[in-house]
Structure 1
Amino acid sequence: MKEPIVNVGIMFEEVINFEFHGEYCCESTGATLTGLHTASFKEGKILYDNQLFDVLVFEPTNYNTDCVELKDVVIGINFHWERKENQQFKGGLKLIVENGKLTAINQIGVESYLTSVISSEMSATSSPELLRAHAVISRSWLLAQIEKNKSLEETSLYQSTFRTDDELIKWYDREDHTLFDVCADDHCQRYQGIIRQNDAVALAIEATRGLILEYDGKICDARFSKSCGGVTEKFENCWEPVAHDYLTVLRDTPEENDFEDLTDEATAEKWIRTDPPAFCNTHDKEVLSQVLNDYDQETTDFYRWKVTYAQQELSALITKRSGIDFGEIIDLIPVERGTSGRLIKLKIVGTKRTMTIGKELEIRKYLSTSHLYSSAFVVDKSGNGSVPESFTLTGAGWGHGVGLCQIGAAVMSSKGYPYDKILLHYFKGADLVKRY
């Protein structure tokens, strides 16, 4: 197997400004280009250089030295730290029309892509073993998604939304992208170009080149999140109802099987309200700085956290985020929890509407202006009347909790665990295999 090329969706705008640092050739016109350029959406096509195109592809003359800079790329889409920045990319640039806008796609080799991903997902100054572990899971996840894309193209039966009058179950995954392999934001893997790369990351990529996780002869869909909160979640509780034996429940401690049944409401509540030991239960700033980039460090509480909403604030938030007018919020009732205590289904009871929602990311979207840290939370109401005056959510973890826990892995690395032991802690029964 040769190193694959990956198509990464970077930005989606009506007007895209870009600058070539070095010489690029436009496949549609044959022109050799440098400097600043602008493309815009017009009449269902791409307006560029006073001409209309369906697709534009620009290839660098020298892949090692040339790069393209995209202006005002939005990062952290819908998160509390959302912002814009200029980003530079090696490889080719492809512009297409999608949903009434232009999509800028970076076409690049998997290993070069990963060099940026590892630096974007965590600090490039992380320990070598942590960087190697993340290189393997990011490579595995990417190649698994490319394979999944091919299977999705062959079927029209796939669904990710199930709706009735009183229930909405939805998850967000690869089927959201059909014209490229992966996006560059947290929806897939953070990919922010060459700015944050350094030699340590390049060495980690080279040391693990072509190395992936396999289970039963198939590439592992190697998921990861910031903090599992002490116990990992099963894949099927966050995405499609397909069980992966290597993405199962375990305690984020050396005693991996020392966990309670957090699908039980009383047990989950006790777990979430306490502060049990775990690899990811740390306040060590040196360790955390390996995993959290500057904007991630704006979040200080993640293993256990708390947020309070006044009645008016919560009802307005849920209406805005869901598009449904629930009226005043009477209650938030846990319906079903997963193995980490994360809510899979939550019933929202309002004065105008009652509805059960899921899965975990949909719950997190309804209850935050960006994304709630996780869906592993319990609810306390205050006020003497039939309509509560405020709601306090006490929660555990940051992210979906499936697969590798990034903060837990950073702590394991600091304790001397090699990268293969870190990987096999989080992906039970998997094998490390060199694909190319």
Structure 2
Amino acid sequence: MSKVNKSIRDQYNKYPYPEPVKDMEEYLKVTNYESCPTLNSNLLWPTTGYPEKPFNILCAGCGSSEAVGLAMKNPLANVIGIDISNSSLSHSKSLKKKHKLANLTLKKLDLHQVESLGQKFDLIVSSGVLHHLPDPKTGFQALRKVLADDGSFTCMLYGKYGRVGVYMFQELAKLLDLKQDDDSVSVLKEMCATVPALHPVKLVTDAFHDSKYDAGLVDLFLNPQDTAFSVKDIMQMADDTDFVFHTWLDNYLYYPQSLPVAQTQLFNKISALPAQQQWEFMEKFTCAIPRHSFILTHPDRDPEDYAIDFNENTIDKYIPVWAPSTFVTSPLNMEPFGQVNYRRKKYDFAANEYGAKLLGYMNGKNTAQKCIELARKALGNKELDFFPVFDYMYRAGHVQMLIKK
């Protein structure tokens, strides 16, 4: 084990991360792990849906509770959680015992040694781990070796531009010679409480819970190893380690549909770029992505089973469904046709009467083309162009696409 890895192990032994959960049943009533396949089944398996038979999940760097949550939410899955922190594993083991999880195995293991488990995994989950390795590429390579031929890898990495303020604070911590101890944590709390409102660190401290407790502050500002990634870095890493990039867990911040510039020259110019260049533009233009969450897959997996190429020529191939994070807050069957209001995370949106009618035909069975045909018929106008509605909803992440069997 490298010196850096030992320092990280010692940090997580002293400051278990994330904040230990006392009761997973209560915790899962109000939250969900973004990596959980029950939440992302439409993205992971758009053709077949959530598996109806046992499958294998590896939680690489399971921390104090993530593998437990995965085992509870996925009773058909055989879950293995690995970590190098005794404290984190000890808490996970206590939760396993409390909730009687026969489908969960916990091991103290460096993820570089994951081949020693002697099995392949249908799904690998690694949230906030690989960016703490001295050489993240070695971690990707190790996990690639244990991914099943039709498997997927759900990953979260720090974002280079959205964490600019965090790295400024890390430099300030070095100037003050702060250590991983209680006195230094107190100083960090004072820094967060008094930092000017326009400081870029607020993007992270206001949005995430990490800055609200000691272990989170240590992980943010005093971690001995922290590598952030841009969109371009992620695509390059996927290529270098023989993965195929599949999708973002949430499109919202990666496409210009999230900007209040629809039908402007700027919007049209961004939209004309290839997808990856749109993502790169948005990342640098908004500086609003402190974490990248995405899915990679095995290069031998058939793209017909998972790849989405939604455009005007493929609308009969895809079945639109609401994203799990989207909640309709006004009825879709209002007469006369009024606008539909919906909410995603902390944002409120609305679709006009034509969009509302179209969205009302999303039932998990109708293709996008069928929805459009039904909406045109109901409104008595065959010329209405409904494709931009679905295109916006998909690019903005409000709607996901299943692949018609």
Tell me the TM-score normalized by structure 2: 0.30
Tell me the TM-score normalized by structure 1: 0.29
Q: More helix per residue: 1 or 2? A: 2
